[in-house]
């Protein structure tokens, strides 16, 4: 059986999150560079097919708290420092997804599917 359009749209969203997370995890980040990194991540992921929008928020308060605990002026980007919303439009089916921390794990989830 071939996947349905909503299933394919959800798969596309998963590809975007895999790219986003695994391409940018480990990037050096500080409160001074977080805004430019947010834009760079969003613009890079938006280049992918079927990606309608990406909103990346680096949590500067969480980042600053981490930096207060260490001697360096930066740390490595991980899921605990960002929240992401991503929308994929695949053949008229829009999938709204998000990423935020759930306990110690950056949880990526499908929030809503709008089938045309």
pTM of the model: 0.91
**Strand-pair partners of 109:** 98
DSSP 19: H
pLDDT in tens, the chain (116 residues): 999 999 999 999 999 999 999 999 999 999 999 999 999 999 999 999 999 999 999 999 999 999 999 999 999 999 999 999 999 999 999 999 999 999 999 999 999 999 87
Q: Which fold has domain 5-114?
A: 3.30.1300
Coil vs helix vs strand at 84: strand
Domain ranges of the chain: 5-114
Q: For the chain, percent helix, then strand, then coil, each to nearest 5?
A: 40, 35, 25
A 10 A CB-CB count for 61 gives 9
Residues in the chain: 116
């Amino acid at each position: 059986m071939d996947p349905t359009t909503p299933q394919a749209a959800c798969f596309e969203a998963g590809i975007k999150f895999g790219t986003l997370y695994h391409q940018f995890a480990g990037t050096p980040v500080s409160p001074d560079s977080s805004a430019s990194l947010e834009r760079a991540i969003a613009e890079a992921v938006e280049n992918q097919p079927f990606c309608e929008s990406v909103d990346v928020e680096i949590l500067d308060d969480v980042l600053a708290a981490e930096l207060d605990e260490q001697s360096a002026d930066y740390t490595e980007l991980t899921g605990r420092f960002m929240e992401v919303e991503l929308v994929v439009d695949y053949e008229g089916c829009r999938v709204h997804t998000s990423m935020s921390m759930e306990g110690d794990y950056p949880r990526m989830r499908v929030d809503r599917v709008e089938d045309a």
